Structure 1
């Protein structure tokens, strides 16, 4: 079963468009072979989007459309198959002439594809418009593609996956295991070796039992709950080998100071969430609260000085 949803967001600036394109192609969320472009070069999508707008003198207003196609965790479908379904979905007349960057994300317990559509059609110069009928046609065709592959199609309320917010609230929502998953995922890309990873996890309040004579890594949460790395999803991204490979990539791509700065920023954001009374309901799950694009927005605001006295907090260990 696949659910198609349009994501409302701050989509009226070039900066927001650049951020969402970076978000969907983030290597921590997907793989190179699961990223593609329709009517555009995925490696140059942002520039092509901007050039199309300038060619037609339509640089104001809505800059992009963001939609997702999500599959239930119990659907027996592979990332490769989800990518093929996305390829076929874009063949609809609905998308003709539009430049689209898209990527299958594998970082959640359900596979899903993000599509970012340029708001200006590269062939006609017309801006994106969607009628209720076109939206229903899109959902119907998505169902048809799933049905053709033997995937489950659900329309009733019971077991319905359409309310993604309810699903995430129930299966992920504010859970210690999901918070642990986010911590490991982020520290995986902020560490340069095993020792660095363990130290960073400890700064977030987690203990890490990583022994060479044991197959699995055991994490202990700040509240004392234990979980092995094989319980994190997808498990192949959190094996010892996968983590060590990520550390090597980090050493190649970023200097020690850059990694440290990223880590300090995350710790500062965690501190803000935990100390802000407005976030009382999620203060035990700061990374969940800062997940995804919200994290980027929070970082941008904090860099401007909003909500945090950087001079006061400089050098603080959390």
Structure 2
């Protein structure tokens, strides 16, 4: 998976912004076809950023945001693929209404994407901000994009491969809510109707209260904890409407047998891992651990069947 790191610029002025843009487009580090812009041209990004700031009279304070998306040197991906992942990352809601210039650098052992964000929105003039929840959502979305392209996990601190389950255990403290999130997400893409979704959640040990009279869906975990769908992040991906849309997409792209096969593979993998956890006296969050070991992805790919592709829609959950 890619590691996202925000860079604190000591000279966050017009001059610093111009240098940052010139740096990420340095021909010694990248190539013209590996540079792009969201709502701006990479060739005129600096001038376009300045015009927006002047238009909204927001020429003081922080002028730009610089962050890097780094990949493992062991990844078998071309610069063009890494660039495409960077472009898709900018579809995240965090960048809505903000201009971004980006490029893929090939001068290091590991490929990496650089992004320069205009600190002022080109539609409202508001300053760019990123909450902890949005940062987590952005990282999850980046991870999902990497999974879509078959990339591996790396340790951002040491630059080494790292088990995803280890990340989850440290970052989530084996969170029951994160385990619920994974369960809902998997059942969302293993179901073709509301009824199948409820049944699949029950197979994982969860009770689902989905009533037409109530705005929200309520989930009860195997240990008795309760949580509504609006508490899962990002909430817009787990509304009733979002789930029903996913069910319809599944219905169009896969047969009932293929959906059942996918769920059965998931259950088999969970059962195997849960047995290992009990023998080792470990926690009871099999989907969290399964995500970490990469077995879920392999099982899901086998269950999809040839000619099927959930990447475009399924990837939006992370």
- TM-score, normalised on structure 2? 0.48
